[in-house]
Each structure stands twice: as structure tokens, then as C-alpha cells.
Amino acid sequence: MKPFGGNVLFLDRSDINTDEIIPAKYLTEISKEALKPHLLEDLKLEGFDPLRDLKGKTAIVTRKNFGCGSSREHAPWALEVNGIHIVVAENFARIFRQNMFNCGMLAVELPSETIDELFRVFSKSETQVEVDFPNDRLTFSNGKTKKTYSYHLSPFDKTLVEAGGWVEYADAKY
């Protein structure tokens, strides 16, 4: 299983699409590693500078419909090669969400009030998230405040994360 958690990058916007996560011009790359410097390069977000803001971050908290648009699995890959294995959002676009679990990564959905609270309490400070995968719990802390939230994963999604992805699972079973 991949390591989950670490320093949090807050992206205060809904509908961040996969073209923004990794632009189409990099889809000619066959290796995942080549995607690394281009993560969130075209993100439309006031004051966001990918080079500065991504440094040391290994988790993302964002709003609604993250990963909409193109089906490109390059989007989770671009996150993965940057060490970001977990994205927390109010909800995700279907293909992106499935791609995350198919790659053994975590796409965690939390209610909008919780997401609001995370932005309110933590987004202005250096924040870490700890993931208790067996018990489906996230703990956010910024030195001053510490808060724990439960989330829900379907048994299938959990199985995929544990199995390390869908290919091995399906090949053994079908």
C-alpha cells in the first residue's frame, strides 16, 4: 500500500479539471516521471504558483467535482509522481475518482460543512494530515488545532487500495 498523508495543499476552488491538473500537451509522455514538473501548471486560481505552493506537499484538500473533464489517468499519475497519494474533496468526477482507486490511491469525500471547516480552520496555516486507513479516519493538525474526521470508503475501493490496483485483482478473478 502507498503511504498516505503529510503536508496539505489547499485548493480553494470547485471543478478543477484534468486539463488543469496536467495539460494535454504532456500526454505524449510515456513515462509518468516526465509529468512531475507540470502538475497543476494551468490551474486557474488567484495567487497560486505551482512551483512555490507544491513544494513538500503530499496531500490535497479541495472543493467540489475535482478531476472533471478528460479521462486521462495522467492526472492521478502526475499527483503520484509528486508524492501526492490522497485528495480530499466534497466530491469527484467519476472517471478521475475511479482512476485514483485503480492506481491504489485515495480519493476521500467529506461533507461540504467539513470541507468548509477545513478551509476555515487550517487553510491559512501549515497543516498536516494523518491517515488512519484501517479505521477510515483523517486527522488534521497545524500545531494549534487538531481535528479528526471519519470518512466512508466502499469495500471495493478499499480492496483496490489494499490490492494495489485493479489490474492484478481483475486478472486473478476474471
Partner 1 sequence: MGKTIAEKIFDTHEVDRPFPDVRVLRLDRVLCHEITTPTAIDDLIRRGKDRVFDPEKIKAVIDHVSPAKDEKTALQGKILRDWARRHGIKDFFDIGSNGVCHALFPEKGFIRPGFTVIMGDSHTCTHGAFGAFAAGVGTTDLEVGILKGVCAFRSPKTLRINVIGRPPAGVFAKDIILGIIGKIGVNGATDRVIEFHGPVISTMSMESRMTLCNMAVEAGATSGICQPDETTVEYLWPFIKGEYSSKKHALEDFAQWKSDPDAEYEKVIDFDVSTLEPLVTFGYKPDQVKPVREMEGTKVDQVYIGSCTNGRYEDLEVAASVLKGKKIHPHVRGILAPATPEVYRKALEGGLLKIFLEAGFCVTNPTCGACLGMSNGVLAPGEVCASTTNRNFNGRMGKGGMIHLMSPATAAATAVAGVITNSPLYAR
Residue ranges in contact with partner 1 by CB under 8 A: 14-15, 17, 19-20, 23-25, 27-30, 42, 44, 64-65, 68-73, 76, 91, 93-96, 98-99, 102-103, 154-156, 159, 165-167, 170-171, 173-174
Q: What is the nearest approach in angstroms of partner 1 to the Cβ of residue 121?
A: 25
Q: Which is nearer to partner 1, 7 or 14 (CB)?
A: 14
Q: Which is nearer to partner 1, 5 or 76 (CB)?
A: 76
Question: What is the rounded distance in angstroms from the CA atom of residue 54 to the CA atom of residue 41?
Answer: 11
Region class of 88: left (phi > 0), else alpha (psi between -120 and 50), else beta: beta
Q: Which is nearer to partner 1, 44 or 146 (CB)?
A: 44
Distances (CA, A) of 166 to 158, 169, 170: 11, 5, 6
Q: What is the nearest approach in angstroms of partner 1 to the Cβ of residue 172?
A: 10
Give the residue from 93, 52, 130, 153 showing the smallest Cα distance to 39. Answer: 52
